[in-house]
Amino acid sequence: MRLTQQSLTIVLASMMLFACAASGKTPPAANDDSSAPVISVPRIVAIGDVHGDYDQFVKLLQVSGLINKRNKWIGGDAHLVQLGDIPDRGPDTRKTMDLLIKLEKSAARKGGAVTVLIGNHEAMNMIGDLRYVHPGEYKAFVDRNSKARQQAYYEQTKAWLRANLPVDELPTFDVDHKVAWKKKYPLGYAEHRLAWAPAGKYGKWVLSRPAVAVVGDSLFVHGGIAPEYQAMPVTEINTRVRTALAIGESLAEGSIVDDPNGPLWYRGWVTAPASDQSLTALQSVLDAYGVKRMVVAHTPVLPIVLPRFGGRFVIIDVGLSEAYGRGFSALEIVEGQARAIFGERRLLLPDEPGMEALNAYLLAAQPFASNPEKVANYREKFVTPALLQAANSDNHTPDEQAETGAEPAAASN
């Protein structure tokens, strides 16, 4: 037996249980109030993956008219929906979460609202899949007691190993071992793991959040709702996700938080061919939830908001973080009309199927994209061939991409 992430999680869990016992507190039950649909919303602003890029996120909130230069809520009765994947790949996850926790309260006082969804990276951090954690995310938790805490964690790890491993499988606890161990589990690591535990500050917050939310006439979800899930009510989806995270289900156990067709991971509507069959299947999902459109993040395609299927499906992971090129765009829905936000500019999204409408939107948006070349390449690869095909066909007008779906810029985990 070797020193595994699961072993270290057990050690940290014991530390957390001790802390809870000492304080007389137990991890809270998940609050499902956020599963209830919000019917009347004057203005919705939706933002995709942040991945630890606090500065870009704040700038996007500011140009969207939700906060001022002091990060105070000025959005009035607007409803902000952030679609998850706040952590990983960037250093400022903690600052971003703290800001959103503050805005949840201040927006409510002003008649607005903030809904933050659970993404696959929130699930990964809670369960202990730390492959994409940025070193700065650990550093953000370092305080004057971190060295002592790290040493205590090391000693508890040694004690656990000695109690659970045969003598011939024990590592040599010499100086080299300790140096290597501290490099792998740096200062701030223990604090990070405790904060993301179900009883920790951010773990509790995640467990209070939904995986799926219906706001106005739109359904918001990090990855997507696959046809296999359309019979499952929003409340049940949220309960299953929260329960899995609260009990620490392993990503290897095939639960809803690991299912590639589950709400945190699904990419099917991003990559599906824009055929009549796909549109019919998507419409069936929308009808099941009584909504006009589905809005997702998770899969970065372009550095701008990208509609598919005549605006019935909208991709808003624009690669906001430095790790993905700092795309800069958000979705705004006012009185049922969906627009892309580009600084002070707003562009209406197409609300009818067809390459002509999509092409017009992309041409209008391209000059304002953080990477116009990506938009141009997308048009050249997907839009222009379909328009030429339509021009050469007497009987067929292709939908957005007649042969293939939108190709992800990066199939990010």
- Residue range 256-289, pLDDT digits in tens: 999 999 999 999 999 999 789 999 999 999 999 9
Q: Residue 162: is its pLDDT beyond 50?
A: yes
pLDDT at residue 386 in the model = 86
Structure tokens at 28: 């809270």
Q: Which amino acid is at 23?
A: S
Q: Mean pLDDT throughout 27-37?
A: 53
The rounded Cα 361 to chain-centroid distance in angstroms is: 25
Q: Tell me the whole-structure pTM to 2 decimals.
A: 0.90
Work out whether strand 43-47 and strand 79-82 pair parallel, antiparallel, or are unpaired.
parallel
Q: How confident is the model at residue 290 (pLDDT cuts 50, 70, 90)?
A: very high
The rounded Cα 198 to chain-centroid distance in angstroms is: 18
Distance CA 265, CA 224 (A): 7
pLDDT at residue 317 in the model = 99
Domains parsed from the chain with CATH numbers: 5-29+135-195 (no CATH), 34-118+209-391 (3.60.21.10)
Strands across the sheet containing 79-82: 113-116, 79-82, 43-47, 330-334, 337-342, 345-348
pLDDT at residue 392 in the model = 84
Q: Furthest-apart CA pair in the chain: how many Å?
A: 79
Q: Are 68 and 80 in contact (CB under 8 A)?
A: no
DSSP conformation class of 323: G
Q: Residue 22: is its pLDDT beyond 70?
A: no
